[in-house]
Amino acid sequence: MKWFQVDSDTPDDPKIKAVIRRGLPSPNPGQAAAGALLLLWCYVANHGGGAPGIGVDSDGQPLPLGEMADELLFDSQADLERFLDFLAEKRAIDPAAWADQRMVMLPAMAKRADAYARSKGRPAPAPKPPAPAPKPPGRAKSGEKSPGSALTVPTVPTVQHQETEEGQLALTPALPAGPTPEDLVQVWNRHRLQGPKVQQLTDVRRRAYAAALKAAPDLRVWEAVIRWVETQPWCNAKGTGDHANWRLDLDHLAKPGKLQTAKERMDGDRNGAGRSAAASGRVAATQGKYAGAGHDD
């Protein structure tokens, strides 16, 4: 859900009043708390991948608290969690969802969405139950391979704009065109063996990777360059030279122009290797054998 309704008398709600009275560490504690609450509503509405008001991603996992703390302008995740503890105590967020799964659920937002759907004669959206938290890998038995863990990167659908009946700007799903940042991350993590893996696809990274893919959409080129990078000592922290501890990462390769530069170096290396192989295959001429070749006697 990309938009939601806030009434003009929202500050008069007893739950909201309690949050504002509690405040946050700031020169203006009440204003800071009210602002954080509004940013929380916007974050859940913008990033929630389930039913309205349920703070889960498209895979059904709770929205990441570290990223949420940054978006809500908290100094740390711990400060955000203390704020959410208070919201749960006042039932401004669902206390059970927060206590059991560390998930932000906004009952009022879900209720508003249901009321809006009924006013338009549409069925209310069915709530999507949150997925259970993944179990940690178990200890491998003797003679068995450890189950390990794998990176799961959530897929965010591409959207296009359209006007609603009320003239408000809404967002509707659209088919993605070309490879996505998630596709690029999978190629990188599959072939970049010596370098750092991408563990989290943040909004900043998503924008950077999308821009890089717009300039170079062919994933075969990315794969070829990544494989070449694997063979380059200067990219893999071999402990010598000016960059002894540096390993090339995807953030660096996705910067404007970096992929093209790497590809040109890769192509130059291949062409040089081809010329060297051809030269090494030549047979030396016997002295005097071709002395008159190309000349008139």
**Long-range pairs for 41-44: beta carbons < 8 A, 24 or more residues apart:** 41/4, 41/6, 41/106, 41/109, 43/68, 43/71, 43/72, 44/104, 44/106, 44/109
pLDDT at 240: 64
pLDDT at 52: 79
pLDDT at 215: 92
Which residue, 15, 47, 59, is CA-closest to 34? Answer: 15
Which residue, 150, 147, 180, 128, is CA-closest to 1? Answer: 128
Residue pair 198/188 in contact (Cβ under 8 Å)? The answer is yes
Site of tokens 């991603």: 57
Q: The pTM is what? A: 0.38
pLDDT at 156: 44
What spatial distance separates the first Cα and last Cα of the chain, rounded to whole Å?
90
Residue pair 189/165 in contact (Cβ under 8 Å)? The answer is no
pLDDT at 120: 52
pLDDT at 249: 93
Three-state SS string over 113-148 comes to HHHHHHHCCCCCCCCCCCCCCCCCCCCCCCCCCCCC
Identify the segments of the chain with pLDDT beneath 50: 145-146, 148-176, 274, 276-297
pLDDT at 6: 73
**Long-range pairs for 22-31: beta carbons < 8 A, 24 or more residues apart:** 22/86, 24/83, 25/79
